[in-house]
Structure 1
Amino acid sequence: MTITPDAPRLSATVLIVRDGSSVPEVLMVKRHYQIDFAAGALVFPGGKATPEDSSADWDPYTDGDFGPVQQDARIAAVREAFEESGLLLARPRSRRGTNQPLVGPDMAEKLDPFRSAVDRGEQSFLELIRDNDLVLALDSLVHFGHWIT
């Protein structure tokens, strides 16, 4: 009997870390209790890449030069963090570039009503970023590892 393994699919997970008062703080989200896999588990934001994450139309709306697969994975990581936690790793397009400040809670709150629609594929994440004159801060992410599970 020959078993053919499934082809790997691109996905990304993001660890968001900040300096706390005495120790680093790491963002985790709790998975919904009514899902099939790992219900109720504490996890880092992440998930599968979507076809839109690979669109060449992203190029003017990202900071950093990473090549197609790295860029796609970073876009997926930023999108998943937004969908799952509401944090948006982006900059105003007028203030783009490495070490420039990220958008604040005001922009995250403005875009919060679109999180579920982006997650369900009913709202284009690219259009949301473009319509709000933002760029994804892909350069703020540090590549940590590459696994195939």
Structure 2
Amino acid sequence: MPKELTLPEGLIPPELPDPPATPKDAATVMLVRDTDVGIEVFLQRRVSGMAFAGGMTVFPGGGVDRRDADTSLAWHGPPPAWWASRFSCDVGLARALVCAAVRETFEESGVLLAGPSEDSVVFDVRPYSEARAQLVNRELSLAGFLAESGLVLRADLLRPWANWVTPAEEKRRFDTRFFLARLPVGQRADGATTEAADTRWGRPTDTLDEWKAGRVGLLPPTWTTLAELEDCGSVEDAMTRERTIEKLMPKVTREGDVLRLVLPDDPGYDTAAAHLSPGDPT
């Protein structure tokens, strides 16, 4: 992780919460597509006033809803037990994480990873615009929506990518599983979400260059994932890569007036301070 990747002012409280907040299970999805200039990923800049990561450029995603664990929905692809083995969690949570990934992707980008049969994907999502709004407002569950619409959840369109846990210093914490998904043919991602100030497609390389120039803000998991996607020559390359998924929980260190995150392979990880008031050295 580069030394210049620092945390926004005010993101981390000066005192370590006692006890630390329990991380909330969440899912985020890197939606990707091939272009003439290489792989692109869908990004959204969060509204600046949001309590968590306001103003930062991120991938679509959000917390698991208790109804995401509903076992009644039609499912095609790797079973929950397979996802549980990849994300090192129980089967019920694995099911909920996959469902949350599909639901959040639809809510925040309008892309629906489901189809009328096990070998088809929705081509035109416009008939489901009302259901999308009801999902956002929690008036409808994903299982209820898919059942009413006669759709099958396509877990085979997702790939497991990573698992990041918010540092213990943060008041709002998430245990987030990262998924990769190819943009289905005929569908388009939009910016019709109140959580984003703007949305766009971008090459990982270009987005990292914008970050270097100070034009976008990236949190360490987003930066790291973009750097990993930068190494992929195509969507197929990314989708077929075998990845070992380990739970990554960075720690916060202070260097002068700057806060940085360090990972377990960093020499400063074990000595990271638990108290980060401005006068504390690290």
Q: Which moved more, 1:111-120 or 1:45-54?
A: 111-120
Give the direction of change, closer, same or farther, for the CA distance of 1:21–1:75 in structure 2 (3 Å limit).
same
Equivalent position of 2:45 in the other structure: 30
User: 1-side partners of 2:19 and 2:52: how far apart?
Assistant: 23
Partner of 2:143: 126
Runs of 4+ in 1 over 4 A off after TM superposition: none
Answering whether residue 122 of structure 2 is matched by residue 103 of structure 1, we say: yes
Distance in structure 2 (CA, Å) of the matches to 1:49 and 1:24 = 28
Q: Which has the higher helix share?
A: 1
Q: Bigger CA drift: 71-80 or 123-132?
A: 123-132
CA distance in structure 2 between the aligned counterparts of 1:148 and 1:36, rounded to whole angstroms: 17
Q: Equivalent residue of 1:75, what SS?
A: helix
- 1:72 counterpart = 2:89: no
Q: Which residue of 2 is the match for residue 62 of structure 1?
A: 75
Aligned residue in 2 for 1:47:
62
Q: Distance in 2 between matches of 1:29 and 1:48?
A: 17
- Distance of 1:41 and 1:5 partners within structure 2: 23
Which residue type is aligned with residue 145 of structure 1? A
124-133 or 43-52, which moves further after superposition?
A: 124-133
Which is richer in strand? Answer: 2
Task: Give the structure 1 partner of residue 205 of structure 2.
Answer: none
Q: Size of the alignment, in residue pairs?
A: 139
User: C-alpha displacement at 1:33, in angstroms?
Assistant: 4.4
Q: Secondary structure at the match of 1:7?
A: coil
Larger radius of gyration: 2
Please report how far the alpha carbon of residue 62 of structure 1 lies from its aligned counterpart in structure 2 after TM superposition: 1.4
CA distance in 2, matches of 1:86, 1:19: 19
Q: Aligned to 2:109, which of 76, 79, 85?
A: 85
Q: Deviations over 1:84-142 (max 9, x none)?
A: 011000111xx30xxx33211x2x11112222321121122211111111011112111
Structure 1 length normalisation: TM-score? 0.83
Contact 2:68–2:141 (CA under 8 A) maintained in structure 1:
no
Aligned-pair CA distance for 1:143:
0.5
Segments of 5+ residues of structure 1 without an aligned counterpart are none
Q: How far, CA to CA, are the matches of 1:112 and 1:145 in structure 2?
A: 30
Counterpart secondary structure, 2:97: helix
Cα deviation per residue 1:52-72 (whole Å; 9 max; x = unaligned)? 1012223xx111212322221
What is the identity percentage for the equivalent residue pairs of Structure 1 and Structure 2? 34
- Indicate the larger mover: 125-134 or 62-71: 62-71
SS at match of 1:79: helix
Q: Which residue of structure 1 lines up, in the alignment, with residue 14 of structure 2?
A: none
- Whether contact under 8 Å (2:99, 2:142) holds in the other structure is no
Q: Which whole-Å CA distance do the structure 1 matches of 2:165 and 2:52 have between them? A: 18
**1:29 and 1:84 in contact (8 A); partners too:** no
- 1:48 alignment partner AA: G
Q: Distance in 2 between matches of 1:110 and 1:40?
A: 32
- Does the 8 Å contact 1:30/1:43 carry over to 2? yes
